[in-house]
Structure 1
């Protein structure tokens, strides 16, 4: 059954792989990104106006009926923009497209989380995100940059996203409307964002210690795309608020 699916971050990495897989399966994909091949909606999800523009454009292109949404847009470079894109660029787009999803007969949302959500993070930053206070969250992220905790910004955005998922997935707005909202949490994925780190022997050792992946090592974007595609499927009728770790066993080692 052909479905209409929007994919944020569709120009590269996991987003591009997911968009390609869904198109191969016969789905109509609406790509959302700042630029690039296969992008139907050009939008900057680091800003509130950009998020609103993305929501309006996707809603218009779908005629107000959206079967699936995958949120792959994200930043790995440490800095305050990670907060704006990784957390607010995800949650506000999901919320904004909720009416179009509710109009589908089998609506599904798949977020891209991360194994980093279970790693050390800034509790105050997570709380600011969950409170919807983007200005405060940005201030806290800048503070983390200046006092040597830049690595906590990314993990904080993913921890906040995981908690937001658990909070809203079972509400009347989502579960009550038949919208299955879940997430995939990858380990290390071989994308343009990780290419520089993987190619550096020292950084590779750091990653291997932080995210040990005994089952088949680093993942390809396509590996994550297959998992996301299942969460989007009409057959996935009863999963809500779940974070599925596609990480080669890293989460099992971290939390045995």
Structure 2
């Protein structure tokens, strides 16, 4: 029987590339996005998160094989906190019960190498205890200066997601239930999210100074999709709680000998 996978952020970028790859391999994909998807839902609020779970349950008949939590924002606004962190957790936790009927259940989310960049300690701490009202309030303060403190919001959400994966993957709810939970951490990927930043040679050079990618430079979405598909596929039986960097070497350049 063909696998049934859920991909959030399926209308563009990495999510779209992942959907296309899975479908090419014969899987049934239930896409979730704010437009052009089987389930249209806004993950920035409770109503949208409920709509996601209910929509997937209805379309899947109550059983899925994999969840790919790809949806995300990069704006220096509180919405980035709501979607990137709380929307991702709502996706994974809300759909986990639907994985129970699969013989090879899998779950994977998209973090970022931005987790290695400067972040806001207070925001990361609030995300760590899953206090959404307080985290959004902190983001409101940071967003008042979008070029400085606001720029810390995205990295903070990705750092918090990476930590969440590490803390949750080996628990009875995930590993104990036979569900590998992992994350990928892309470097600079050519998507609609980064299009403006990499539109000029000057812009590309400036971004690559901050995010060095000595191996083959800026990547296409399909590169990340292939890694996601393996982590979310039947072949992955023992990779658990890993943040797999697909960043052209950024992690190596920035952290050197450090492995965690």
TM-score (normalizing by structure 2) = 0.95
Shift of 1:103: 2.1
Write out per-residue CA displacement over residues 18-76 of structure 1, whole angstroms, 9 at most, x where no aligned residue. 0000000000000000102xx10000101011101101111121121110011111011
Tell whether the 8 Å contact from 1:69 to 1:108 is kept in structure 2 after alignment. yes
SS in 2 for 1:195: coil
In structure 1, the residue matched to 2:113 is 115
- Please tell me whether residue 203 in structure 1 is matched to residue 211 in structure 2: no
Shift of 1:202: 4.2
1: CA distance between counterparts of 2:225 and 2:91? 20
SS in 2 for 1:59: helix
2: CA distance between counterparts of 1:162 and 1:102? 24
SS in 2 for 1:86: helix
TM-score (normalizing by structure 1) = 0.97
Q: Give the paired residue count.
A: 254
In structure 1, the residue matched to 2:50 is 52
In structure 2, the residue matched to 1:100 is 98
Tell whether the 8 Å contact from 1:110 to 1:231 is kept in structure 2 after alignment. yes
- Please tell me whether residue 69 in structure 1 is matched to residue 63 in structure 2: no
1: CA distance between counterparts of 2:64 and 2:122? 35
1: CA distance between counterparts of 2:206 and 2:151? 12
Shift of 1:205: 2.9
Moved more, 54-63 or 167-176: 54-63
Tell whether the 8 Å contact from 1:52 to 1:93 is kept in structure 2 after alignment. no
Tell whether the 8 Å contact from 1:110 to 1:182 is kept in structure 2 after alignment. yes
Write out per-residue CA displacement over residues 119-176 of structure 1, whole angstroms, 9 at most, x where no aligned residue. 1101111111121111110111111122431110000000000001111111000001
SS in 1 for 2:216: coil
In structure 2, the residue matched to 1:4 is 4
SS in 1 for 2:159: helix
In structure 1, the residue matched to 2:238 is 238
Listed as ranges, the gaps of 5+ residues in structure 2 are none
1: CA distance between counterparts of 2:248 and 2:201? 20
In structure 2, the residue matched to 1:131 is 129
What stretches of structure 1 move > 6 A for 4+ residues in a row?
A: none
Tell whether the 8 Å contact from 1:74 to 1:85 is kept in structure 2 after alignment. yes
In structure 1, the residue matched to 2:223 is 223
RMSD: 1.1
Listed as ranges, the gaps of 5+ residues in structure 1 are none
Shift of 1:203: 3.3
Shift of 1:201: 4.2
